[in-house]
Amino acid sequence: MKTNDTLIIADKTFSSRLFIGTGKFSAASQMKAAVRASESELATVALKRVNPEEKSEDIHASLLDTGISLLPNTSGVRTATEAVFAAQLAREALETNWIKLEIHPDPRYLLPDPIETLLAAEELVKQGFVVMPYIHADPVLCKRLEEVGTQCVMPLGAPIGSNKGLKTLDFLNIIIEQSNIPVIVDAGIGSPSHAAAAMEAGADAVLVNTAIAVAGDPIAMAHAFKLAVEAGRTAYRSRLAPARSEAEASSPLTSFLTE
Amino acid sequence: MKTNDTLIIADKTFSSRLFIGTGKFSAASQMKAAVRASESELATVALKRVNPEEKSEDIHASLLDTGISLLPNTSGVRTATEAVFAAQLAREALETNWIKLEIHPDPRYLLPDPIETLLAAEELVKQGFVVMPYIHADPVLCKRLEEVGTQCVMPLGAPIGSNKGLKTLDFLNIIIEQSNIPVIVDAGIGSPSHAAAAMEAGADAVLVNTAIAVAGDPIAMAHAFKLAVEAGRTAYRSRLAPARSEAEASSPLTSFLTE
Amino acid sequence: MKTNDTLIIADKTFSSRLFIGTGKFSAASQMKAAVRASESELATVALKRVNPEEKSEDIHASLLDTGISLLPNTSGVRTATEAVFAAQLAREALETNWIKLEIHPDPRYLLPDPIETLLAAEELVKQGFVVMPYIHADPVLCKRLEEVGTQCVMPLGAPIGSNKGLKTLDFLNIIIEQSNIPVIVDAGIGSPSHAAAAMEAGADAVLVNTAIAVAGDPIAMAHAFKLAVEAGRTAYRSRLAPARSEAEASSPLTSFLTE
Amino acid sequence: MKTNDTLIIADKTFSSRLFIGTGKFSAASQMKAAVRASESELATVALKRVNPEEKSEDIHASLLDTGISLLPNTSGVRTATEAVFAAQLAREALETNWIKLEIHPDPRYLLPDPIETLLAAEELVKQGFVVMPYIHADPVLCKRLEEVGTQCVMPLGAPIGSNKGLKTLDFLNIIIEQSNIPVIVDAGIGSPSHAAAAMEAGADAVLVNTAIAVAGDPIAMAHAFKLAVEAGRTAYRSRLAPARSEAEASSPLTSFLTE
């Protein structure tokens, strides 16, 4: 069953296709255990937590301790200018040129701004960042981000933290079909079945945070997501049969009674 | 992550919550390999394949060779009387009193007959069978089957072989809430994400056949389903958070720019 | 736009394909106005309201005053025996041999019992009733009811009063395809768009109660349902185009810029 | 049932909330009859059809003959610059400063470009146009268009011509909640029930083309959409009851058998 199926983004090669967010956990120790259980190799961290003047901060140290790569995000910024500044701070603080670009002006639904995101992406690519933009599931925007040089696109499945799943599936399918860079479904994934469905549709990876962090048992839930992502990826590579309108018997009809 | 979470039906204890059907595979060797990869402990077989006069038949032998328990089904019968007769033949041929009760008069959609199924179930329970009835996702019928003594209920997610998934989820939720016997989702499960979703909803097990047998790579697909069922079961036990209408940020809003 | 498109059940011909329930209204006057606004020609009434010893009861009188036909239902009975008795009482009280057969033993979800319903239907047909059975969206059960002589089938879209819409659409499609008697979608219809969708799928009529009775303005809502049923029926007869995976421009691509 | 419920966009007041597209009809006479049957007061026309040098063109004349207002669209342009040029040509040709702004670079799915659309909208507003932009169901983009002064937003339900319905409903709900200008659902509406559902959700109007033009009977289908839009709007104003998880009997439980 072992196959060489890795995901490459910029200069990194990932065996795991589950990226994990680190917000909302009730304790750093719990987060650390969940990260380990997820077997993820990339964890997003909000910039505020990686204050450059306090590098010894618990959460940051906890994460590095697990060996996971850190992906700072620009959560909380509202414009391209703020995002570029935040990315620069993050680069300095975390010594990484990777940045998850999140620009969401509205505090209620936290939906991303397509215009500011494209502007910031273009500038950050010029400045040498590996840019991973969080965006609406907008196929045209995804192509434009690819054209300015982002290393992947991260379309949403549903609003952040809503746990509603792949509400945008019809558009994710188009994005996946058209993209030449990895497509990572971000936001909305509320259960392992949602993560598996994203992978079955051909997504290259998923990012999960809320559904793990606020579960009854976040550590076991992280393991469940790990399994689901593997299940979905394996199914995608094993070529699922399409849905059909009529039934088709699994068992041949028994004719013994009339023979 | 190891926990004691077994499923008990009659006198058998199952570690795996994935049951597998054996129809539609292109070769017995492929079926055998897929059964092994699924790690399933119970496989359905159509009566016709276990002809009592030819016990050495390939498929049957192949399956026993894997150590899996066999569950004969009555596929192809159209009435309660035929079903009882078929169950008796199966008991003789396979030396098991377990029977998957399937009565579907219509050859196009293969949907189960509620009236004949209840009649047959009552009679088969009296005759000492362990009865596992395949039925529509009808909560009232499930309770009546429980009352006559079936060991589980097997409501459908969608028509057999349609791969459409959990079209009956609203009713499966009611069945799971009300049932005192195991609920095993049978028919319609077309991908690992569907199987995970059934387990997340609290189903005790799922039965999969077509989606594995007709996949591009049935053996890898069997493994994918194994992972998905574990993912869904783990998620159910780890208590998923509910869906929400509004967003909730995973990352705390960064205030560094205004501080 | 006028066409001769009537629905015939037993000896009655209906111009309207919207049947209306009379429970849950806040006042008899409001119910009466809503019935008029719906332009429905058949209204269900619970037996309890048509107490044979108090024929002058307000609600009953109100309804007859609108000229609508009354369809007593057996709501509240739990077995075939009780249903047959209730139907006989209703026939005496309302001087009609039409009966809406409802047998739902569970007070929480009020889902119908397939076994008792078929038993009662067979007996009531023998006794000369026009039987309209409320049932789960079970295609096999629908055929069996047709075989014993019911004048229509009334499969549910979702649990009564849930307003969830056509959760059973995959099965309603099969029922409609296979039925030789009218198919009337009953229960679950929560908005005019649900009613229109049922009609577009080829249902012969819909029955609505809760969604009208508990609306902010029940009278205007009754009118909205009337329009929606006509819209859906007209669309069905005008042959909707199927859904497509790819886009197709409505407007021809403008080439003026490159010409 | 008559109420004063008009839709105002710029200097026009509409009694009908159904806007209609004029592409794909098999003949001008059929289109004209469908437009009349729809009772729509605003019809989109592709620029190519309104060649300024041939004002006597059949289709254009046919439409004006019905008394409907014409809304030229920029279908076929790929950039903001092209869109502005096309709008200027349309203004000259049709003597209207209304413009439906459509910029879709991809010929397969015809999805709109958010960046070019915002740029063009801003410029066209400055030039005195009444701008009606066709866009993805992106709540943040909708707010930005409102800020630059468009007179409405026209988010899509599904790809143009797909007839898939309100695939973006979760996002349309957010757009409707946040918008201070009319929200007109454009693209994807494939049946009257979809149109009714959009109106029930609070959309101010819908634009329909393919579903009418390619129906078996486009004229009757236009009438069906007219009814459905009225049904949905009336339901919205009459305050629909929410969906519930449990059943609630429409009929009071009959207790006559136990009393």
Distance CA A70, CA A246 (A): 48
Band (pLDDT 50/70/90 cuts) for residue C3 is: low
Rounded Cα distance, D148 and D124, in Å? 10
For the cut 50, the answer to whether the pLDDT of residue B107 exceeds it is: yes
Q: Is B99 helix (H, G, I), strand (E, B) or coil?
A: strand
Q: Which residue, A134, A199, A135, is CA-closest to A166?
A: A199
From B84, which residue of chain A is nearest by alpha-carbon distance? A257
- Cβ atoms of D25 and D37 within 8 Å: the answer is no
Q: Is residue B118 part of a domain?
A: yes
CATH number at residue D15: 3.20.20.70
pLDDT in tens, C100-141: 999 998 888 889 999 999 999 999 999 999 999 999 999 999
pLDDT at B178 over 90: yes
If you measure CA to CA, which chain A residue comes closest to D112?
A: A140
Provide the β-strand partners of residue D42.
D69
D6, part of any domain:
no
Look at residue C18 and give its three-state secondary structure.
strand
Q: Which tokens hold the place of C199?
A: 């009609």
Cα–Cα distance between B12 and B14 in angstroms, integer? 6
What tokens does D177 get? Answer: 């909640």
Query: Which DSSP letter does residue D21 get?
Result: E
- Identify the H or E element spanning B87: helix B80-94
B28-50 residues labelled b (16+ CB within 10 A) or e (exposed): beebbbbbbbbbbbbbbbbbbbb
- The boundaries of the domain holding residue B159 are 13-237
The tens digit of pLDDT for each residue in B28-84 reads 889 999 999 999 999 999 876 555 554 445 667 777 777 899 999 998 899 999 999
**CB neighbourhood size of B86 (10 A):** 26
The whole-angstrom separation of Cα A226 and Cα A21 is 14
Q: Give partners of D (≥3 CB pairs < 8 A).
A: A, C
pLDDT digits (tens, 9 = 90+) for D10-37: 999 999 999 999 988 988 889 999 999 9
How far from the centroid of its chain's Cα atoms is residue B51's Cα?
A: 24
Contact C162 D255 (CB under 8 A): no
Mean pLDDT of C135-163: 95
Look up residue A100 and give its amino acid.
Answer: K
pLDDT of residue A48: 65
Residue C242: which pLDDT band, with cuts at 50, 70 and 90? confident
CA–CA separation, D54 and D60 (whole Å) = 10
CB–CB contacts below 8 A, B to C: 69
| Model pLDDT for residues C58-76, shown as the tens digit of each residue | 667 777 777 899 999 998 8
Tell whether D151 is covered by a domain: yes
Residue B143 to residue C113: CA distance in whole angstroms: 10
Tell whether D231 is covered by a domain: yes
Residue A217 near chain B (CB below 8 Å): yes
Which of A187-196, B188-197, C42-51 bottoms out in mean pLDDT, i.e. has the lowest?
C42-51
What residues of chain D lie within 8 A of the CB of A110, using their CB? Answer: none
Closest chain D C-alpha to A184 CA, distance in angstroms: 19
> Which residues have a Cβ under 8 Å from the Cβ of D165 and sit 6 or more positions away?
C243, D157, D158, D188, D189, D190, D191, D193, D194, D197
- Give the model's confidence band at C199: pLDDT under 50 very low, under 70 low, under 90 confident, else very high: very high
| Candidates B209, B254, B255, B258, partner chain A, best to mutate (most A CBs within 10 A) | B254
Chain A, window 68-127: residues with a beta carbon less than 8 angstroms from a chain B beta carbon: 73-77, 82, 85-86, 89, 102, 107-111
pLDDT digits (tens, 9 = 90+) for D32-68: 999 999 999 999 998 765 555 544 456 677 777 778 9
Q: Residue D1: what pLDDT? A: 45
In a 10 Å sphere around its CB, with 0-12 CB exposed, 13-18 middle and 19+ buried, how is residue C92 labelled?
exposed
Catalytic residue list of D: 100
Residue D111 included in any domain: yes
Segment 139-158 of chain A within 8 Å of chain B by CB = none
Cβ-Cβ contacts under 8 Å, D159 against chain A:
170, 174
Please report whether residue B249 resides in a domain: no
Confidence (pLDDT) at A246: 63
For residues C193 and C208, give the distance between their C-alpha atoms in angstroms, rounded to a whole number.
12
Q: Which two tokens stand for residue D11?
A: 């200097």
| Residue whose C-alpha is closest to residue A209's, from B116, D109, B136, B241 | B241
The model's confidence at residue B220, banded by pLDDT at 50, 70 and 90, is very high
Contacts of C226 (CB under 8 A, 6+ apart): C16, C18, C37, C38, C39, C40, D231
| B86·A254 Cβ contact <8 A | yes
C128 is in an annotated binding site: no
pLDDT at C247 > cutoff 90: no
> Token pair for residue C104?
């739902």
Give the pLDDT score at A131: 98
Looking at the DSSP bridge assignments, the partners of residue A44 are A21, A71
Residue among B32, B100, B126, B164 flagged as catalytic: B100
**pLDDT-based confidence at C28, cuts 50/70/90?**
confident
User: What are A29-63's pLDDT values in tens digits?
Assistant: 899 999 999 999 999 998 765 555 544 455 677 77
Count of Cβ atoms closer than 10 Å to residue A203 Cβ = 28
Instruction: Give the full edge-to-edge strand order of the sheet including B205-208.
Output: B154-155, B130-135, B98-101, B69-73, B42-46, B18-21, B205-208, B184-186
The pLDDT of residue A1 is 44
What pLDDT does residue A28 have?
A: 87
In this prediction, the residues of chain D whose per-residue pLDDT falls under 70 are 1-3, 48-59, 245-259
Residue (of A178, A203, A168, A223) closest to A37 by Cα position: A223
Three-state SS for C177?
helix
Whether residue A253 has pLDDT greater than 70: no
Q: Count the Cβ atoms, other than its own, within 10 Å of residue A239.
A: 13
Please state, for a pLDDT cut of 70, what percent of chain C lies above it.
88
Does residue D65 sit in helix, strand or coil? Answer: helix
Query: Strand B154-155 vs strand B18-21: parallel, antiparallel, or unpaired?
Result: unpaired
Integer Cα distance of C135 and C143 in angstroms: 12
DSSP A114: H
Q: What is the percent of chain A where pLDDT is above 70? A: 88
Start-end of H helices in B129-213:
139-148, 169-178, 192-200, 210-213
Q: Has residue B137 got a pLDDT over 80?
A: yes
Q: Is the pLDDT of residue C160 over 60?
A: yes
pLDDT, tens only, A121-130: 999 999 999 9
* A227 vs B240: which has the higher pLDDT: A227
DSSP string, C214-230: TSSSHHHHHHHHHHHHH
| A99, A124 contact by CB (below 8 A) | yes
Check whether D188 is labelled as a binding-site residue.
yes
Q: What is the pLDDT of residues A68-122, one digit of tens each?
A: 999 999 988 999 999 999 999 999 988 899 999 999 988 888 899 999 999 999 9
As a whole number of angstroms, the longest Cα–Cα distance in chain A is: 84
In sequence order, the β-bridge partners of residue C142 are: none
**Residue A23 counted as an annotated binding residue:** no
Percent of chain D's residues with pLDDT above 90: 71
Is residue C167 flagged as an active site residue? no
**CA proximity to B238, closest of A191, A24, A165, A30:** A191
Extended strands (E) in chain B: 7-9, 12-14, 18-21, 42-46, 69-73, 98-101, 130-135, 154-155, 184-186, 205-208
Give residue C248's pLDDT.
Answer: 59
Spatial CA neighbour of C235 closest among C185, C196, C209: C196
Lowest mean pLDDT among A205-209, B149-153, B221-225, B236-240: B236-240
Please, is A2 exposed, middle or buried when counting C-beta atoms within 10 Å of its C-beta (0-12, 13-18, 19+)?
A: exposed
**Per-residue DSSP letters for D74-126?**
-TT--SHHHHHHHHHHHHHHH---EEEE-----TTT-PPPHHHHHHHHHHHHH
Q: What is the arithmetic mean of pLDDT over A202-218?
A: 95
pLDDT band at B216 (very low <50, low <70, confident <90, very high): very high
For A133-160, what is each residue's pLDDT tens digit? 999 999 999 999 999 999 999 999 998 8
Domain contains A232? yes
Which residues in chain C touch residue B140, judged by CB atoms under 8 angstroms apart?
104-106, 111-114, 136
Is residue D250 one of the residues assigned to a domain? no
Exposure string for C207-245, b = 16+ CB within 10 A, e = fewer: bbbbbbbbbebbbbbbbbbbbbbbbbbbbbbbebbeeee
Q: What is the pLDDT of residues A160-199, one digit of tens each?
A: 878 899 999 999 999 999 999 999 999 899 999 999 999 9
Write down the catalytic residue from A24, A100, A164, A226: A100
Give me the residue from C138, C158, C178 closest to B136, CB to CB.
Answer: C138
Give the pLDDT score at B173. 95
Query: What letters, b where the CB count within 10 A reaches 16 and e where it falls short, cover D195-225?
Result: bbbbbbbbbbbbbbbbbbbbbebbbbbbbbb
pLDDT at C209 over 90: yes
Please report, for residues B170, C174, D161, D229, the alpha-carbon distance to residue D191 in angstroms, rounded to integers and kept in the order given: 25, 20, 12, 11
Cβ within 8 Å, pair A220-B238: yes
Query: How high is the pLDDT of residue A172?
Result: 97
Number of domains into which chain C is organized: 1
Report the half-sphere exposure of D127 (CA within 13 A, side-chain side).
18
d(CA A206, CA A110): 18
